[in-house]
Amino acid sequence: MDIQTLTLLIVGASFVLYIGIAIWSRAGSTNEFYVAGGGVHPVANGMATAADWMSAASFISMAGLISFMGYDGGVYLMGWTGGYVLLALCLAPYLRKFGKFTVPDFVGDRYYSQLARTVAVVCAIFVCFTYVAGQMRGVGVVFSRFLEVDITTGVVIGMCIVFFYTVLGGMKGITYTQVAQYCVLIFAYLVPAVFISMMMTGNVLPQVGFGSSLVGTDTFLLDKLDGLSTELGFTEYTSGTKSVIDVFCITAALMVGTAGLPHVIVRFFTVPKVRDARKSAGWALLFIAILYTTAPAIASFARVNMINTINGEQMQGNDYAQAPDWIKNWERTGLIKWEDKNEDGKMFYSGDERNEMTIDRDIMVLANPEIAQLPNWVIALVAAGGIAAALSTSAGLLLVISTSVSHDLLKRNLMPDITDKKELFYARLAAGVAIVIAGYFGVNPPGFVAQVVAFAFGLAASSFFPAIIMGIFYKRMNKEGAIAGMLSGITFTAAYIIYFKFIDPAANTPANWWFGISPEGIGTLGMMLNFAVALVVNRFTAEVPADVQEMVESIRYPKGSGSAQAH
């Protein structure tokens, strides 16, 4: 059976499963729509959190980044993994104890201010829209290749699916859909990794194969990669080119950005007790580690196979006419381009001016089974996994946007007297509008998937993280300080990213960056600015009311379950 037919069957079956779960778990109240009624089992919540967390950036783009950047790509691996540990240990139990629906809910009540709540809503929407643009782009990349449609059509198909089960099921529907999506995406990620590891190194575990010698030789995989890279004019695969300060800032921005991501934090409100929040965080970390420890191996396998294919080891004389099907297939999507510079009809891939191949790094995981000549069903399975990863995170982000508008902005601020039914209507309406806007950014993204997501983490790091961490651990932080910090942090970070990515992209070089910090890492500087401004403003403004300080003390020392409250 051909790849397109198998892809339609496997992806179609997964869509039927997701929609069926959404119908079965349809939300009937605001409590179910926002936090799934607070009754999700820790293991199920751990799977849902992992699916929510492992977006298209993790599934599709991270291994591609490592494959092309080598050592430098490790910052994404370290930052995202370390960030989840920070979130699980330092924030999740305390926020669950507080017992509110959303991060703006926490900010508004902790800082006893409607203005603080509104600022948090704006920050949440800004962060989520930036993040969801990367997910929609991922959906478009998958569909453009495997369903042979253009990226715009692929994004529209993804929008329709997400709209259906987000609007219908809310958090309740999303949670159980994400459990299924985790199972699909992790199976799809591991199967080709295991196959290729056995073919190239003889080891069934990719994590072991990554550090092993190639079959039939005494050459280690990474030594082979270093040799290929230097021969072709690239930097050694195991050597870095980024400055120490930029590596530190990108890693830190991804870590603290993770701890400030509203769509991940809200997952800890869906379990019955504080103890369950801790348990679900542990399960999620285990489920996440399975994929994250496999990504470097996939990146290395794909890089070796790709170079060998294009530069002649697996085809005769680099002749374009003899190019394997995967190159021709991806060329039709526009994500691979060949420019015959010397007009000899032969392909050449290198890291200098001789290079004739332009390869989008977002295709590496999806193309990996084709490059390794695995069976068609494995290729189709990977497509289903990529779509599951992108859709699961998109749903979580869109739910945050809808609840921020309906619950935090309308119910808790502008329209306090609306009924639950009316609030639910506005939540679904907001989700619908958000999906349309997200689809636009999916068609017109500001960068490749993981890069767009990194910007979202920087924005979260510079806005939410200081407000949350001081809200929990510094009871004397007042509303004026928190508001000033959030506004200054996110404004500075957004301005820096917008300038280098949109206003003057030609200036986006290390020579022009402040202190050598790239737009992907500037969130760390924005976070420091947030802390500094908040502490200075706090010093010269009114003290925090005594009852709020007592409330913070109760958060710090959780003794009860703290059920989620709508008001």
CA separation for the pair 220, 372 (Å, rounded): 18
Q: Residue 108, Cα to own-chain centre: how many angstroms?
A: 26
CA separation for the pair 498, 514 (Å, rounded): 14
Contact 525, 248 (CB under 8 A): no
Q: Counting beta carbons within 10 angstroms of the beta carbon of residue 543, is it exposed (0 to 12), middle (13 to 18) or buried (19 or more)?
A: exposed
Contact 63, 299 (CB under 8 A): yes
| Residue that has been written with the tokens 């196959």 in this structure | 195
Identity of the amino acid at 168: L
Element containing residue 336 per DSSP (H, E): strand 336-338
* pLDDT-based confidence at residue 315 (cuts at 50, 70, 90): very low
User: Tokens representing 127?
Assistant: 């962060």
Residue 107: pLDDT above 90?
no
CA separation for the pair 459, 520 (Å, rounded): 10
User: Tokens representing 68?
Assistant: 């092309």
Residue 491: pLDDT above 90?
yes
* pLDDT-based confidence at residue 560 (cuts at 50, 70, 90): very low
Q: Give the angle 389-175-167 at the CA atoms, nearest 5°.
A: 90
Q: Kindly state the average pLDDT of the residues 53-77.
A: 80
Contact 26, 175 (CB under 8 A): no
Residue 168 is predicted with a pLDDT of 61
Element containing residue 337 per DSSP (H, E): strand 336-338
Question: What pTM does this model have?
Answer: 0.78
Q: Kindly state the average pLDDT of the residues 519-535.
A: 94
pLDDT in tens, 113-161: 888 888 888 888 877 777 777 777 777 777 777 667 777 887 888 777 7
pLDDT in tens, 289-298: 888 889 899 9
User: Tokens representing 284?
Assistant: 């999620």
Strand (E) positions, 40-144? Answer: none
b/e per residue 161-186 (b: at least 16 CB within 10 A): bbbbbbbbbbbbbbbbbbbbbbbbbb
Identity of the amino acid at 390: A
CA separation for the pair 221, 244 (Å, rounded): 26
Three-class SS of 342-404:
CCCCECCCCCCCCCCEEECHHHHHHHHHHHCCCCHHHHHHHHHHHHHHHHHHHHHHHHHHHHH
Residue 566: pLDDT above 50?
no
Specify which of 208-217, 264-273, 275-284, 317-326 reaches the highest per-range mean pLDDT: 208-217
CA separation for the pair 330, 316 (Å, rounded): 20
* pLDDT-based confidence at residue 33 (cuts at 50, 70, 90): low
Residue 93 is predicted with a pLDDT of 74
Widest distance between CA atoms in the chain:
79
Residue 288: pLDDT above 80?
yes
Contact 241, 235 (CB under 8 A): yes
Specify which of 102-106, 264-268, 315-319 reaches the highest per-range mean pLDDT: 102-106
Q: Give the angle 70-72-74 at the CA atoms, nearest 5°.
A: 85
